């Protein structure tokens, strides 16, 4: 069953066409890779799908066209994203950042927030327990009371995922999650992504790191100059000459 | 961690402070001290509301005195002309300021950073000009005098204003430590990430703006009935700048700092009256020193002083 269906999505800035009639779909439960050289339109595509830009064409999420919806509305439908940046909620603690991620699921309205009652306090305590569970899942429990900008780069990368997962999405778009990580950390991060997948979340992985793509993805979509140039299993696309040329220039072989 | 509890000051300490606070006007002979404390409570209350907007939500308003003046005039006009009781006038003051903030939020809260600040600055000047020129309603540049007082005994006014301030801080504390406060902080830290987890940024910005305007409106009403007059100058930029200074010096985004700084700055000119016009100079020097040497404001210093004091008391108890 298709959970995300992108149809003829185009986005241009002035005269520059960043995404050009891009079409692809993702089935529920899949882990799909989206790759392409620098400036190929990957980030723009993510911004279009999640409502930060308004593209031409259609983006169907659970059979509903979400083009024109605002990012917070799309997030409320169950499609969440992460960001390349690692600043996040810099001055909030790690625990508070995850609690912020749970915003859609607090079960409180504004007056509940003000009114001092046992049941509201219990709600808040349950929320905190949930948040701590999420921190455990990402191996961040020890850092819970530290400001999020004071933890390690690897920690911040995981926190970004934790915040997005706290919103309990059905599908998550992960934007370059291993950039700047050491080899060992990349392996750990791959484990984390596998674990996320096991919880049933559909994943679209936008990535530069070929090791991650080759090892994790069911299917890979390759874009260049905003258009799809190949699609298939990791093995298929890595042996595709057109992909090799676009991605690394001529005469270089991709290996996993 | 227990939510909904004051971490900075324990409830027992708070209750003792409250009782001492309530008793002050009944033991001191000096009406001057009572007067100063009333002023500092009102400004502490406003600084708290302003801090919610600037410190927690990250929106710089340079025209907050407009809401203070709107509150003052709303309440005065209603109480004087329609003879409604002043507590009702006070509520109307807050609601009017809140509604105007809500309407303004529609127009300007999509603006970021300096543009938002400039619009609020212009807005306050417009409000001041309207007040000055709408003579039939506001008395023009002469303002309105002989405003009905709150209580005939200033000590009751004192107790009322103090309890009002405590209530405002209690509500602010609850807001900040709820999902609403977390949404505000998320917007301050990164709007795009906030949106990605489903936070309706425009709505929460408006909410923060409305709450802080509501508090400023209430404060304006209290001040008008306490002083028993109101002037167009109440909307002037210097008053808005005062709030900004209190918040920055006290520690923008710290819970108790701006309120303490407001108290300090209200008391400072009274004690430094002998230096006359140099007051403003002292004011400026303090601001510059704080920004250069302690950009987080005075709150961390208050905190370590308080913790030091508490530890010393604990050790004293253990020694015995």
Angle ∠(A18,A20,A26) on CA atoms, nearest 5: 105
DSSP assigned state of B141: G
Nearest to A72 among B2, B185, B201 (CB): B201
What b-and-e string marks burial along A204-221, b requiring 16 or more CB atoms within 10 Å of the CB?
A: bbbbebbebbbebbebbb
CA distances for A6 relative to A23, A54, A68, B230, angstroms? 5, 13, 14, 61
DSSP secondary structure code for residue A83 in this structure: -
Contact flag A103-B181 (C-beta cutoff 8 Å): no
CB atoms closer than 10 angstroms to residue A7: 15
Task: Report the C-alpha gap between A42 and A25 in whole angstroms.
Answer: 15
Parts of chain B with a pLDDT under 70:
1-10, 269-280, 316-320
Residue A112 sits in the same domain as residue A73: no
Q: Is residue A138 part of a domain?
A: yes
Query: Could you say which residues from 70 to 99 on chain A have a Cβ atom under 8 Å away from some Cβ of chain B?
Result: 70-72, 75-76, 80-83, 85, 87-92, 96, 99
Q: Which of A100, A107, A112 should one mutate to test binding to chain B, selecting the residue with the greatest count of B CBs within 10 A?
A: A100
Residue A102 in domain: yes
Taking the CA of residue B266 and the nearest CA in chain A, the distance in Å comes to 29
Q: Is A141 on the interface with B (CB under 8 A)?
A: no
pLDDT digits (tens, 9 = 90+) for A20-71: 999 999 999 999 999 988 888 898 999 999 999 999 999 999 999 999 999 9
Select from A40, A36, A27 the least CA-distant residue to A207.
A36
Chains A–B, number of C-beta pairs less than 8 Å apart: 106
Smallest CA–CA distance from A122 into chain B, residue? B3
Residues A40 and A143 in one domain: no
Query: d(Cα A162, Cα A173) in Å, to the nearest integer?
Result: 13
List B225's β-bridge partners, or say none. none
Closest CA to A75 of A111, A31, A41, A105: A105
- In this complex, the residue of A72, A83, A114 whose CB is nearest that of residue B198 is A72
Flag whether A195 is in a domain. no
Contacts with A47 from chain B: Cβ below 8 Å:
none
The answer to whether residue A125 is domain-embedded is yes
In this structure, of A191-205, A218-232, B140-154, B302-316, the range with the lowest mean pLDDT score is: B302-316
How close B231 comes to chain A (CA, Å)?
A: 34
> DSSP assignment, residue A109?
-
Using the beta-carbon criterion (under 8 Å), do B207 and A50 form an inter-chain contact?
A: no
Contact: B178, A83; criterion CB under 8 Å: no
Q: Is the Cβ pair A164, B196 closer than 8 Å?
A: yes
Cβ pair A165, A101 in contact under 8 A: yes
What's the pLDDT score for residue B309? 79
Question: Between these two residues, A121 and A97, which has the higher pLDDT value?
Answer: A97
Residue closest to A89 by CA, chosen among A99, A80, A79: A99
Task: For residue B254, give the chain A residue with the closest CA.
Answer: A91
Residues in B touching A102 (Cβ below 8 Å): 179, 197
- Min Cα distance B17 → chain A (Å) is 21
What are the tens digits of pLDDT across the range B53-88?
Answer: 999 999 999 999 999 999 999 999 999 889 899 999
Coil, strand or helix: which one is A184?
helix
Tell me which chain A residues have a C-beta less than 8 angstroms from the C-beta of B181.
113
Say if residue A157 is in the same domain as residue A179: no
Residues of B in contact with A114 (CB under 8 A): 171, 174-175, 178
**Closest Cα of chain B to A242: distance in Å?**
35
For residues A115 and A152, membership in a common domain is answered with yes
Based on the domain organization, do A106 and A64 belong to the same domain?
A: no
User: Is A239 inside a domain boundary?
Assistant: yes
For chain B, what's the residue count?
320
Question: Do A178 and A51 sit in the same domain of this protein?
Answer: yes
Which residue ranges form the domains of chain B, and what is each CATH number?
11-319 (1.10.3470)
Tell me which residue range forms the domain holding A230. 1-78+169-184+201-256
Same domain, A89 and A145: yes
Instruction: Please tell me whether residues A163 and A174 are part of one structural domain.
Output: no
Among B40, B82, B44, CA closest to B216: B44
Claim to verify: residue A38 and residue A69 sit in the same structural domain:
yes
Total structural domains within chain A: 2
Supply the pLDDT for residue A240: 85
Residue B143 burial (CB count, 10 A): 20
Q: Which residue of B has its CA nearest to A79?
A: B196
C-beta atoms surrounding B152 within 10 Å: 7
Instruction: Give domain status of residue A191, yes or no.
Output: no
Phi/psi of residue A175, nearest 5 degrees: -100, 105
Q: Regarding predicted confidence, which is higher, B278 or A122?
A: A122
Structure token pair of residue A163: 């915040």
Paired residues of A171 in beta bridges: A79, A202
- Quick check: is A145 in a domain? yes
Q: Distance (Å, rounded) from C-alpha B116 to C-alpha A24?
A: 40
3-state secondary structure at position B143: coil
Query: Is A223 within the bounds of a domain?
Result: yes
Asked if A174 and A59 sit in the same domain, the reply is: yes
Note whether A21 and A34 are same-domain residues: yes
CB contact under 8 A, A106 and B179: yes
Query: Residues of chain A with pLDDT > 90: what percent?
Result: 62
Same domain, A11 and A132: no
Contacting residues of A for B182, CB less than 8 Å apart: 92, 96, 99-100, 103
Query: Chain A closest CA to B174's CA: distance in Å?
Result: 5
Whole-number pLDDT of residue B76:
94
């Amino acid at each position: 069953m298709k959970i995300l269906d992108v149809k003829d999505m185009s986005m241009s800035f002035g005269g520059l066409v960043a995404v050009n009639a891009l079409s692809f779909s993702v089935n529920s439960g899949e882990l799909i890779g989206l790759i392409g050289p620098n400036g190929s339109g990957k980030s723009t595509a993510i911004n279009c799908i999640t409502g930060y830009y308004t593209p031409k064409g259609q983006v169907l999420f659970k059979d509903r066209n979400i083009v024109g919806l605002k990012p917070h509305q799309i997030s409320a439908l169950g499609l969440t994203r992460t960001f390349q940046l690692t600043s996040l909620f810099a001055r909030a603690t790690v625990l508070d950042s995850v609690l912020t991620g749970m915003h859609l699921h607090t079960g409180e309205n504004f007056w509940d927030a003000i009114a001092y009652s046992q049941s509201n306090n219990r709600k808040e305590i349950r929320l905190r327990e949930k948040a701590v569970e999420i921190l455990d899942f990402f191996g961040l429990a020890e850092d819970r009371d530290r400001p999020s900008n004071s933890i390690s780069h690897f920690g911040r990368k995981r926190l970004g995922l934790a915040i997005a997962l706290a919103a309990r999405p059905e599908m998550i778009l992960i934007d370059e999650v291993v950039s700047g990580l050491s080899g060992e950390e990349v392996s750990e991060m791959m484990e984390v992504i596998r674990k996320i997948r096991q919880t049933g979340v559909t994943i679209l992985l936008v990535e530069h790191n070929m090791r991650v793509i080759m090892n994790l993805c069911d299917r890979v979509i390759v874009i260049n100059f905003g258009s799809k140039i190949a699609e298939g299993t990791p093995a298929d696309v890595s042996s595709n000459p057109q992909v090799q040329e676009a991605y690394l220039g001529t005469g270089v072989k991709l290996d996993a | 961690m227990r939510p909904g509890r004051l971490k900075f000051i324990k409830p027992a300490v708070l209750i003792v402070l409250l009782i001492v606070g309530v008793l002050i006007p009944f033991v001191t002979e000096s009406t001057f001290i009572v007067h100063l404390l009333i002023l500092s409570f009102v400004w502490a209350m406003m600084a708290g509301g302003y801090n919610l907007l600037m410190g927690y939500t990250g929106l710089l308003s340079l025209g907050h005195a407009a809401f203070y003046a709107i509150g003052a005039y709303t309440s005065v006009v209603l109480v004087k002309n329609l003879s409604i009781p002043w507590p009702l006038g006070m509520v109307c003051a807050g609601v009017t300021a809140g509604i105007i903030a809500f309407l303004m939020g529609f127009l300007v809260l999509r603006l970021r950073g300096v543009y938002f600040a400039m619009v609020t600055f212009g807005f306050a000047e417009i409000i001041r000009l309207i007040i000055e020129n709408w003579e039939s309603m506001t008395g023009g540049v002469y303002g309105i005098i002989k405003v009905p007082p709150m209580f005939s005994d200033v000590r009751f006014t004192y107790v009322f204003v103090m309890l009002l301030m405590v209530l405002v801080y209690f509500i602010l504390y609850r807001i900040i430590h709820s999902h609403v406060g977390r949404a505000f902080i998320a917007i301050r830290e990164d709007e795009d990430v906030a949106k990605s987890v489903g936070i309706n940024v425009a709505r929460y910005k408006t909410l923060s703006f409305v709450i802080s305007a509501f508090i400023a409106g209430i404060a304006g009403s209290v001040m008008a009935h306490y002083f028993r007059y109101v002037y167009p100058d109440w909307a002037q930029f210097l008053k808005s700048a005062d709030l900004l200074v209190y918040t920055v010096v006290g520690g923008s985004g710290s819970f108790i700092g701006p309120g303490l700084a407001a108290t300090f700055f209200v008391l400072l000119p009274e004690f430094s009256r002998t230096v006359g016009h140099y007051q403003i100079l002292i004011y400026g020097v303090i601001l510059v020193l704080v920004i250069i040497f302690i950009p987080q404001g005075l709150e961390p210093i208050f905190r370590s002083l308080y913790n030091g004091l508490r530890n010393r008391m604990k050790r004293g108890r253990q020694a015995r």
